[in-house]
Amino acid sequence: MRINFIDNSKAIAILLVIVGHTDGIPQILKCFIFSFHMPAFFFISGYLLKINKFEMKFLSFTKEQFRKLIVPYFFFGMISILYSITKHTLTGLEFNIYSALNGFTYGNSEGLVNITLWFFTCLFSTSIIFFLLFKKFTSITIVCFSFVLGLGVCFFHSLIPFRPPWNMDLSIVSLFFYSLGHLVAQASDRNSQLTMTPYRMVLLLIGTAALLYLANKNGRVDMAFMVFRDPLLFFLNACIGVALLLVLSFSIPVTLGALFLSKNTIILFPLHPIFFSIFTGIGMIVFTVPHDFQISYYWSVIYTCGAIAFCYPISIIFTKFFPFVIGKRKEE
């Protein structure tokens, strides 16, 4: 059974991810988007974790998460590497396949040819840690514990000369949002629906204005590279952004467009950078425009719409014929 406000939340979040990766939006909007769009995905993932999953044995749960996250990681990772080889070959640039494979195996953003893939390994590590902790502690305990430990990671991670594989350090930070999502799921009615009243609209506008100010005060953060700026502001801004996203998602009806985006986040997330690269290549080669032609609002909209349009036939093919590559079974 689908949850309308979650579909809306995922749709808005993936739109923010795609728009946030275009070059045409101003820095003030990038700071705003990056302040909460990835914490929102971890929150949603925790929210969707059903309580009956904890009846599973650890190995069974790990296998399920591997199927849902790491199989797509390997599939889209190989596509990304093959695309990079093709692009570098066509442009005559050197490509270090050993470095690419090593970065892919390590699973952190610093070594990936497609940086967006960091989310898959991080979410996998986060879900495993949460599963183990939930066997012994309550959600509220894990939320408090992960907040304190996450703050420590944000403050002191730069002092450690290396990063563990598969974002195991970053997963301590994301664990806070994941466990918070699970806590909210236990305490909320998944099928409730709000209406967009003038009062709620005013609160959303005030909250958005406040987040715009606070996000730019903190500067652009980037979870993928563990750039948090002020850790307290990072957590505060992320929580405000997630709250705004939930209120908005609760208050609007789900549409076919939102449903499509929600169902295909796992495709759009890793493929949109490749689509963007293709669009730029077409502009430069076919229309002989300079590399920075896409730096405008106009092209940000075109790139975003183009990525979604390209995703449509791909999603049909994957869902119908190869569901396992996106972590699904045929009955799903």
Q: Give, for all 332 residues of the chain, the pLDDT tens digit.
A: 788 999 999 999 999 999 999 999 999 999 999 999 999 999 999 999 999 999 999 999 999 999 999 999 999 999 999 999 999 998 888 999 999 999 999 999 999 999 999 999 999 999 999 999 999 999 999 999 999 999 999 999 989 888 999 999 999 999 999 999 999 998 876 666 667 778 889 999 999 999 999 999 999 999 999 999 999 999 999 999 999 999 999 889 999 999 999 999 999 999 999 999 999 999 998 988 888 898 899 999 999 999 999 999 999 999 999 999 999 976 55
How many degrees, rounded to 5, is the angle at CA 12 between CA 130 and CA 226? 50
pLDDT at position 331? 57
Exposure class string for 53-70: b at 16+ Cβ within 10 A, else e: eeeeeeeebbeebeebbb
Residue 193 gets the label, from left (phi > 0), alpha (psi -120 to 50) or beta, of beta
Angle (nearest 5°) at CA 256 between 251 and 259: 75
Alpha helices (runs of H) in the chain, residue ranges in sequence order: 4-20, 27-34, 37-48, 58-65, 71-91, 97-106, 118-134, 139-156, 170-187, 198-218, 231-251, 256-263, 265-285, 297-321
Q: How far apart are CA 134 and CA 58, in angstroms?
A: 12
Give dist(CA 13, CA 11) in Å, integer. Answer: 5
- The reported pLDDT for the residue numbered 199 is 82
- The pLDDT of residue 33 is 98
Here the tokens at position 320 are 């119908």
Q: Indicate the DSSP class of residue 66.
A: I
- pTM over 0.85? The answer is yes
Distance CA 58, CA 127 (A): 11
The domain locations on the chain are 4-326
Report yes or no: 149 and 172 within 8 Å, Cβ to Cβ. yes
How high is the pLDDT of residue 325?
95
